[in-house]
A and B are shown apart, each in its own frame.
Chain A
Amino acid sequence: MLRVEYAYWLIAAFLLYTAWRNLRERQHARAAFWLLLGLLVAGGDAVLAREKVGDPLPAQLAGGAVIALAVLAPSLKRRAHPETASAEQRLASAVRLGHRLFVPALLIPLVTMLVALFGAHLSIGGHPLFATSQMTLTGLALACVIALFAAARIARAPLRQGLFEGRRLLDAIGWAALLPLLLAALGQVFTQSGVGTAIASIANTMLPEGNALLCLLVFALGMVLFTMIMGNAFAAFPVMMAGIGLPLLVQRYGAHPAILGSMGMLCGYCGTLLTPMAADYNLVPAALLELRNPYGVIRAQAWSAAWIFIATFVAMWALVFR
């Protein structure tokens, strides 16, 4: 049975390979960085399993490794990585291979989609082929492996060329790859240390009395701001709902709960488009697309976010107090 854990092992193997290549090129800080990250991914299951039975030591070690990663990160200068094939070589290859080049690239979304849609029905000899949890992610990992084989076959290149090129891209992304995980961890620490309740209580003291529209505006802007701080609308939603949405808007002013919840969440999504804290959507793509400005993607979507927020707020105002 294919489980998402196998995908983690693949990630860990790729990270360790990257570490090994860097070590051979005497890039010691880089090698140590990817080695630590690879070990964290590989040991993740064990850490969580020990934590569940009440042994905090592996989790503490993982925490120490995270701090070590933070110490190493500033020494990883972004490397303008040299291309392995010249522009002429790539163009000649493009002319020779033509549309066949699209096949592996399109296999990634296609296989992922097929697994997501039909994976639950596939079985071999009565055993289900895919574990039900995180099936889409398992599908994406499988799709990546299939696409790598297909790409090697179509380009008539050895598989290790793929690893080599992948490692080059990973080094170009560098420490930005780490941010989504770190920010998720930061969100947890913020929640546990009461940052959310502190912000909600500040928002409550600023709340205007007796004006439903202003109250709705504070709720919507609060969703945006709080999402920007936490990097995630899911973390902001329960706090804002418990502080303002439920007691005031729903219970006092009679707001429609489904509309308030749905559109309030979408206001938070507008905040996600605006914040570097949502690194996996905003900073990692900027690194992946080799933009010189790390906030380039945020800048490109800021006005869209503002207009979508306005449209959502107006719709919410018109509908929620029916």
Chain B
Amino acid sequence: MNYWPLLGVAVIVIGFALRLNAVPVVVCAALVSGLLAGMHPADLLALLGKSFVSSRMLLLFVLVLPAIGLLEHAGLREHAQRWMEQLRGLTLARLLIGYLLVRELLAMLGLTGVAGAAQTVRPLLAPMGEAAAEKIKPDLTREDREQVRAVAAATDNIGRFFGEDVFIALGAVLLIQDFYARHGIQLTPLSIALWSLPTAIAAFVIQSVRVWLFQRRLRRQAAQQKSGV
């Protein structure tokens, strides 16, 4: 067993820990692992190029930017914030939990691409969340705002991840089925997908509780400020 390629993992860990620019760190890790595994440099270069271009669909999110940029220029975020201020009953926690529910249900139907950080979080969920947080704590600091945005992005991720495994025709379920089939165990996709339900429900409950706790923390900070000054 050749353990030397593991040094590539070490390059990644050290690079991220030192907060170096991630792009050269990742490329170095690939070169280190490949060369230590005894790959020919020309083959390694070809492998790097081939795998890079085969995943170019991951750049698809940039196509969202012109439309979103134009709408933001025309005041989309300001409008989302003003609208949130008018909606009395819609608190930060209700907004985020409602989004989580919709996102998770859509992912269960296999519709993972319809929402995301570029499509829905930046133009809609984040400014609405900030406006909702402002209703709780009028003088939000920059840290608070960034925290609200980060929680919105986290909610989007969690809804997507733990919903998509319930859908039978999506990558994860098919990968599991394929692995067992190659080792002589036949399973139906439905029998695999069904067992993702407990975690899907747990993820919804856990993230909802954490969003609610986040809102409560903001409330307490606001109350302290009021009594403190």
Contacts and interface: CB of A to CB of B under 8 A. Distances in A.
Interface string A103-142: 0110011101100110000000000000000101101110
A189 B146 contact: no
B150 A300 contact: yes
A188 interface: yes
B58 A257 contact: no
A10 B63 contact: yes
Contacts, number: 451
B53 A48 contact: yes
Contacts of B44: 63, 189
A207 interface: no
Nearest to B142: A292
Given A139-B113, A262-B195, A293 B146 contact: yes
A35 interface: no
B224 interface: no
B154 interface: yes
B122 A185 contact: no
A155 to B, nearest CB: 4
A19 interface: no
Nearest to A87: B78
A107 B159 CA distance: 21
B149 interface: yes
A44 interface: yes
A12 B164 CA distance: 29
Contacts of A29: none
B37 interface: yes
A263 B61 contact: no
Interface centre among A163, A175, A194, A201 (most CB of B within 10 A): A194
Given A151-B67, A195-B6, A8 B30 contact: no
A63 B48 contact: yes
Interface residues of B, number: 118
Given A60-B46, A66-B48, A273-B158, A234 B66 contact: no
Interface string A128-166: 000000101101110011011011101101000111111
Interface stretch (B131-139, B177-185, B215-223): B177-185
B123 to A, nearest CB: 5
Interface size class on chain A is 35 or more
B62 A15 contact: yes
A69 to B, nearest CB: 7
A169 B77 CA distance: 14
A286 B111 contact: no
A244 interface: no
B196 A40 contact: no
A6 B91 CA distance: 42
A315 B45 CA distance: 44
Contacts of A311: 198-199, 202-203, 206
A213 interface: no
B2 A70 contact: no
Contact of B78 (A94, A150, A250): A94
B98 interface: no
A181 interface: yes
A296 B154 CA distance: 9
A292 to B, nearest CB: 7
Closest 9 CB pairs of A and B: A165-B69, A62-B49, A94-B75, A193-B37, A166-B66, A63-B49, A63-B45, A301-B154, A285-B117
Given A67-B48, A184-B58, A297-B153, 15 more contacts: A14-B63, A15-B62, A63-B50, A63-B52, A73-B21, A108-B67, A162-B67, A167-B65, A182-B52, A184-B55, A190-B30, A192-B39, A229-B12, A261-B179, A262-B192
27 contacts: A59-B53, A66-B48, A67-B48, A74-B24, A94-B74, A95-B82, A97-B75, A102-B79, A113-B111, A137-B60, A151-B67, A165-B66, A169-B68, A181-B58, A181-B59, A182-B26, A194-B2, A198-B6, A234-B175, A262-B165, A262-B194, A265-B176, A285-B157, A288-B122, A290-B149, A300-B151, A304-B206
